[in-house]
A and B are shown apart, each in its own frame.
Chain A
Amino acid sequence: MAEASYAIETRGLVKRFGKTTALAGVDLTARPGTVLGLLGPNGAGKTTAVRILATLLRPDAGSAAVCGYDVLRDAHQVRQLIGLTGQYASVDEGLSGTNNLVMIGRLPGLGRAQSRARAAELLRRFELSDAAGRPAKGYSGGMRRRLDLAASLVGRPRVLYLDEPTTGLDPHSRNEVWGMIRRLVADGTTVLLTTQYLEEADQLAQHIAVIDHGQVIATDTPDALKAAAGWQVLEVTPVRRGDLGAVTRLVEGRLGEPAAVNPESGQVTIKVAGGAALREILRGLDDQSVELAEFALRRASLDEVFLALTGQQAQAPPQQTPAQQATDLNGSSR
């Protein structure tokens, strides 16, 4: 069955809202049992793509299929395969946690007893058993999100859309959700994950599609994306803060790139294209008797790659270094 070799497949997806083009020809594929991370700045078209794949929105052109079923022609079949969670699929505030899940179970045709058992099982798994009888409107943000996730799993979906599933969760709950996603994927579920935490995509996704202005501008494994960036990051931390100026002048002189200085951590970071200049930098630092607390070369982080891909043509000033951009990203995305 050639058309079902992908659990998720879109071809040339186009969607316009009035004069705005939300999607300008998007191709996405996800093999069964993998996580596809969808990354992009706000307004890039992630939500539109997910809504089309969830049969909530009709594309203006192109096609989208789930396990070989077309989202327009076979919408009812697609709905039997998918689970949806996130900002556009909400829990019912007026119902208790249990009744929310029982309702979602009853709707596609689970029996009463089965629905109750499934609800209890999921509430236990998401540590909501104690609050099961209370109306969801009294739940905290984290509890609501967990209930939302539980609701999307009631029907044991083969394809799960997770829209920023851990936004607003504490680190403990976030790890729980990550663990749950890994277990689901190990059992063969396919996951489409949108997230604003690149670390999350790095941790969970086998493939990442970077989307900007309604177009996929890069798609690959996280490692390949980082390698393809073609540069690394040198981090130098002198023991004495007084040496920061000397270190900055030295690395900028050798590498011909602007360096970023973090006065709080006392660290200088700079882009490195190859390893050749490193020995000279070390020798130079030694000549000036700069004592080093840290001298490390690391691969570009996904944050830095992401900004190199999307940030440039957006509004990032050209002078910014990756490290600064990464800080900006963290600051503006929370």
Chain B
Amino acid sequence: MTTAPDAASPLAALARRPGPLTAAQNSLTLAWRSVLKIQTNPEDLFGLLLQPIMYLILFTYVFGGAIVGGTRQYLQYSLPGILVLSVVFATLGTGMMLSQDVATGVFDRFRALPIARWSPLAGAILGDMVRYVISVAVTLGFGMLLGFRIQASPLAAALGCLLVLTFALALCWMSALIGMLVKSAQAVQLYGFLIMFPLVFGSNILTSQQSMPGWLQAFVKVNPVTYLTEAERALLTGGPAAAAVERSLLWALGIFVVFAPLAVAAYRRRS
């Protein structure tokens, strides 16, 4: 290869499109980037650690006495729900980060590189799994410090953690879609909360639905968060889990099948 830019010879070797292996490598590199960003962003890490702790303390000691008459008893009931709540809210971070990447022009740099087109999305979501694992670990760890006891087998508990992570992996595609549709990270937070709040609190996370009015009970009964919470309760504190686990997985699959293609389409369109 000479320095003379006659443009003909070295260009013949250019690849026509990235192969699947390259695409997987691209995604892993971009996941590594997301993980590095958690390290260098103390606010994000702080929020990730502190939010579950805050929820646990508030819900256990504010509502605990009123709802079941004892904080210890209530913690056994509420922790699986708080686990779900922490992870569901943490998925908002995915959309916020993506919209930030679009706004700052980082995504433009990626799109001008010879990499698989969808790898920035896949990489961001893969990297965010680390955030969800942190969220789960802090909720369980601090909960046990407050007196929560796992009453099911360790295997069941591990499955419980896997289940909530699987659900997060599906739900964060919805967050990604919001991130691709709105203009700023603040807007992601606003719209995200508008969707997540009814989903999270219109459920059996904090109390059973018996005391709720009929229309709300109807919503609670179809809410995926309800099934996920039921499944977590069964897997962490014992009880029949199979039906709730199955329903949760179906919901996760449904959410993924709907929102992942939409998010990818929105990402491609945003140019």
Contact = CB atoms under 8 A, between A and B. Distances in A.
Given A94-B41, A107-B115, A187-B3, A89 B22 contact: no
Interface of A (DSSP majority class)? loop
B109 A76 contact: no
B108 interface: yes
A109 interface: yes
A54 interface: yes
Interface string A172-203: 00000000000000011110000000000000
A119 interface: no
A32 interface: yes
Q: Which of A79, A94, A155 has the most CB of B within 10 A?
A: A94
A99 B36 contact: yes
A53 to B, nearest CB: 10
Interface string A90-109: 11111110010001101111
A65 B11 CA distance: 14
Interface in B1-55: 3-8, 11, 14-18, 22, 25-26, 29-30, 32-33, 36-37, 40-41
Interface stretch (A80-88, A232-240, A261-269, A312-320): A80-88
B16 A76 contact: yes
Interface residues of A, number: 47
A107 B40 contact: no
B110 interface: yes
B14 A109 contact: no
Given A92-B33, A95-B37, A77 B5 contact: no
Contact of A188 (B5, B26, B29, B37): B5
Contacts of A32: 5-7
A79 B113 contact: yes
Nearest to B26: A107
B65 interface: no
Interface residues of B, number: 35
Nearest to B113: A107
Contact of B40 (A96, A104, A151): A96
Given A7-B5, A68-B11, A94-B41, A80 B114 contact: yes
B243 interface: no
B105 interface: yes
Given A89-B105, A187-B3, 12 more contacts: A1-B8, A4-B8, A7-B5, A68-B11, A76-B15, A84-B109, A92-B106, A99-B33, A103-B30, A107-B113, A155-B113, A158-B5
Top 8 closest A-B pairs, CB basis? A32-B5, A90-B105, A188-B5, A94-B37, A79-B114, A4-B7, A89-B109, A77-B14
14 contacts: A4-B11, A5-B7, A32-B6, A58-B271, A76-B17, A76-B114, A77-B114, A80-B15, A81-B14, A88-B108, A95-B33, A95-B37, A103-B33, A108-B114
Contacts of B32: 103
A225 interface: no
Contacts of A325: none
